[in-house]
Amino acid sequence: MPEVPAAEDSLRHWLAWLGIQLAAHCDAPEQEARWLLEEILDSGTELWSHPQAPLGETRRSHLLALLARRMSGEPLPYCLGHWSFMDLDLRVDPHVLIPRPDTETLVRWALAHLPEKGSVLDLGTGSGAIILALAQARPDLDYWAVDRCEDALAVARHNGAVLGLSVHWCAGDWCQALPAGQRFSLVLSNPPYLATDDPHLAELDAEPISALVAGETGLESYQAILAGLPAHLEPQTRIAFEHGHEQGPALRQLLRAHGWEGVETHRDLAGRERVSSAVWSTLYA
Ligand SMILES: C[S@@+](CC[C@H](N)C(=O)[O-])C[C@H]1O[C@@H](n2cnc3c(N)ncnc32)[C@H](O)[C@@H]1O
């Protein structure tokens, strides 16, 4: 831990000091300094309304503990214990994937394709980011979410309760976690999609490997989900998967091979293929 400033205890001074400490550890040190400091203040406005106020002993220990975690390489959202996704502030911890801006592509597609009535399913819910963003926008629908990791599901349940949103949370392996006979009008999933030897895994070592790695090819989660879904589909169920930006062709092929029609791929804000969607063919229903 670097030496702490002795002379001045003002919030403004601590903000500048934090930025200097973080410069070698992250890409946006000033922004992160502000988030860390705001996290331990009594109100979100104190930093700009009373920049000369003293930090004080208790808050200083709390701040230094957070800074030590961040400087040891822990991702900022885990240090803060919460992160924002769409308009939601969600609890996150190392049992759940940190919700990514990429996933907003999937949610935006889903918002445009919510059914008038019926049930919506999120497979591999993690923090609950996808299903809660939809439930927030359209609380009148029936929402379901599955995760194999009980600790992740506890985080999702907490987020749903804090937001006052109703979701049927199911623990287990993909569609096996669902009650027999339960059918869905819309199915969404951002499952693990990295291959075991993906070079990106080295930068993602703070996040749960079970949320990231699908298997040898990276397509195993999609295959397992598509194989288990037919008993839970209606004649015109829509589906959308988030996927790696190089997996579009494989996903389109997989969806068609499992009897889905109207297969399309949608690009993220960076212009990369990110989400593939389709409609369940009545021939297979
Ligand atoms: C990539 S994370 C997505 C989390 C969240 N939906 C999001 O977009 O931020 C994938 C999630 O799938 C869950 N998962 C992995 N294998 C599973 C399986 N066989 N059955 C159910 N859930 C699974 C993981 O625990 C993890 O929470």
Are residues 86 and 171 both part of a single domain? yes
Are residues 89 and 63 both part of a single domain? no
Q: In the structure encoding, which two tokens stand for residue 247, read together? A: 């997996």
Residue nearest to atom 9 of ligand 1 (CA): 99
Binding residue per annotation — 115? no
Count Cα atoms within 13 angstroms, Cβ side, for 63: 29
The domain boundary residue, chosen from 56, 73, 90: 73
Are residues 151 and 37 both part of a single domain? no
Task: Confirm whether 5 is domain-assigned.
Answer: no
Of all residues in the chain, the percent with pLDDT exceeding 70 is 96
pLDDT tens digit sequence for 54-79:
999 999 999 999 999 999 999 999 99
Are residues 52 and 133 both part of a single domain? no
Q: How confident is the model at residue 107 (pLDDT cuts 50, 70, 90)?
A: very high
Least confident range from 50-59, 89-98, 134-143, 178-187: namely: 50-59
Ligand 1 binding pocket mutation candidate from 91, 93, 97 (most atoms within 8 A of CB): 97
Are residues 65 and 86 both part of a single domain? no
Are residues 196 and 246 both part of a single domain? yes
Q: Is 129 in the pocket of ligand 1 (CB under 6 A)?
A: yes
Binding residue per annotation — 101? no
- Quickly tell me which residue has 């106020």 as its tokens: 53
Task: Confirm whether 2 is domain-assigned.
Answer: no
Are residues 36 and 104 both part of a single domain? no
Are residues 218 and 270 both part of a single domain? yes
The domain boundary residue, chosen from 21, 44, 73: 73
Contacts of 236 (CB under 8 A, 6+ apart): 185, 279, 280, 282
Give the C-alpha separation, 77 to 116, whole Å: 35
Q: Is 124 in the pocket of ligand 1 (CB under 6 A)?
A: yes
Binding residue per annotation — 190? yes
* Cβ–Cβ under 8 Å, residues 103 and 130: yes
CA 285 to centroid of chain Cα atoms = 31
Of all residues in the chain, the percent with pLDDT exceeding 90 is 90
pLDDT greater at residue 209 or residue 2: 209
Are residues 154 and 247 both part of a single domain? yes
- Give the chain's domain count: 2
128 conformational bin, left if phi > 0, alpha if psi -120 to 50, beta if neither: left
Query: Does pLDDT of 83 surpass 80?
Result: yes
Q: Is 125 in the pocket of ligand 1 (CB under 6 A)?
A: yes
Q: Is 77 in the pocket of ligand 1 (CB under 6 A)?
A: no
Q: Is 190 in the pocket of ligand 1 (CB under 6 A)?
A: yes
Mean pLDDT of the chain: 95
Query: Does pLDDT of 87 surpass 60?
Result: yes
User: 194-195 and 213-215 as β-strands: parallel, antiparallel, unpaired?
Assistant: parallel
* Cβ–Cβ under 8 Å, residues 253 and 269: no
Binding residue per annotation — 192? yes
Q: Is 214 in the pocket of ligand 1 (CB under 6 A)?
A: no
Give ∠ CA 189-195-198 in degrees, rounded to 5: 120
Contacts of 151 (CB under 8 A, 6+ apart): 93, 95
Q: Is 18 in the pocket of ligand 1 (CB under 6 A)?
A: no
Q: Tell me the residue range of the domain where 106 lies.
A: 82-284
- Using the mean position of ligand 1's atoms as its centre, give its distance from the Cα of residue 141 in Å: 22
The CATH number given to whatever domain includes residue 144 is: 3.40.50.150
- Quickly tell me which residue has 């990231």 as its tokens: 212
Are residues 26 and 165 both part of a single domain? no
Binding residue per annotation — 128? yes
Give the C-alpha separation, 173 to 40, whole Å: 38
Closest to 242 measured CA to CA, from 281, 188, 202: 188
pLDDT (average), residues 189-204: 95
